[in-house]
Structure 1
């Protein structure tokens, strides 16, 4: 039982990803950081223009950190420079630098080792600048190794390096999980496609079994009954015996073509052109060749033997054509003759085949009753002919023949047409 369809609901608008958020919305997220920076400046009574410029350069580019790696790198550089000029703005500068560094590593602007190494090098330069400018009191000797504040002064690069490595590692881990999730989704889609193809192959096999169990059995019964009738029915005239033999031969030919169709249905999903060309002779011998242009003469003789009249005319030089194109021409003529015998028995049929440089033109006319009665009685045959022409990249039309008033079928099939 197929699952019931889900209840109709209004479509939900897709939620934009974080990388696609516009700068305005990201600016709202950064707004608390700006307020924190203003508060730190006010409490620290900071009026240095370079410090205020670097503070703004560290915070203001953050709205674009998820869409462009450049602003994120500018935020990290400005945060380090601000910390070099004024180490008191720890909270705002630290948060801005961490946000920019996280964005750089998350977007893989460079290899995580390169990002972390560059940030650590910048932190070491900042620490060296602090030592040179005397930010840390190293005592009267002036040597950091003998100073009592040695631990507090050298704790700065250690803490900065640890924060940088932790931030880059976290961003790289998140990026790795996202990549793994995308790979799982792609693998799921590939598996779904394989399942769908498997279902198509299974359905082809089911159709092949049904054709074999129903159609093939019935056709084989026809062949046996027609051939045995020539021996079991007394008093048959030579014409009747010949008719029974033709019925048996037609049934056997149909069985051969049906076996080829069943084999195609079963192997369509797993057969490739290379495998097809490399099949052994024993396998090739089991499959009868599909009829082509060489079999048109036999087809016309079969039509004549059934009481029909048909004339074949060709124009141009017959080139080497693909088997699919020859089969399309053969099946179109076959279906046209079948329709003529069915809907206009006794009519004359003319088949014109024009071999052009780029296409094969086919024109089939008869002098029987034309449309609309013939068109109304036409069934799957005309539809099949149109579909076969379309698969080869050509076209087919049918209708009234202006010259004879009968039925007309015209087809143009490109010589290099492919399904």
Structure 2
């Protein structure tokens, strides 16, 4: 028995050494938007699209921050009221009027949700359709629960223009105030970065693609090149699906310009989009994803239940609804996060120094990897040591996500439950 446990300890330790040294340095948090100067040589036209469904409580703060951006170019905001019942549109109009920005805000009454669309993406589609009349250079896709730093848009545009990017996105600073938020929210960011190392995302030669839906700036030509939002209309993890479509789009063009969009259509099981002319000014499908220290999410997660629901809503979707991937995830999470502390305890009980120190070393490496995220969110140092317990909770959330899917309760959001065929 001791030999088996020691073997598991060595395997877990080896995995952590590999993650720290060869997995895109995901733990360093060095991809941040605010570390660069904002220099704008041109002033592209930007249209912000905000899908909003029953956001009366948060829209006064989020919309105010959007209308007060210090971007010196043209910015119009298209807020799509997704059939709200709490007066979201009235609150939005009041905010714009109070700021003297009524002409800058365009409120669109959402149409009924058609079959085959997720609610958010249908709202975004309507916003883009209306915004396209202004022939913008960029669409700024953001959520109704985001409070933007005054220079957020300016930095995003500068990043896109300076580095010739098709898509720029930042993972905004999530709320981290309550006990459960401090315990679980930093880990959510840590796991996301481990799944999509930002350095790999930002490397045009690496196929890894991801974005954060709260703050995405996408070039108009790039969105047209992939066939528009309708290409990902069923995606529940829509931000990463959009980033993947953009990053793959240039390769698709190079292989066969006559079948542009077919590769993405096959991946997402949608009909191929119509052939579009190649824009000579469009960049090379490059994307960038980083963190923001200033732009933040207003969405509260005051209880374990709210965070649990957030994760369980799409965790099994992330695994492509595959029982094999689910099994692999459960085994992998146990091996990587739970084996070291269990081995440490067994090493003490058995007085086996080999097992004890191997487990301790693996746990310390885990803590070292997690600490930068804990520091980023200004949480207590001891929480860095609690990653095994946190990972155990996330493993249960993932299992619950699969159970919800099998019971037909997956993808529940804002009063809508999406069918199992949604990806």
TM-score where L is the length of structure 2: 0.25
Decide which structure has the larger Cα Rg and report it.
Answer: 1
Q: Which has the higher contact order (CA 8 A, sep 6+)?
A: 2
Larger proportion of helix: 1
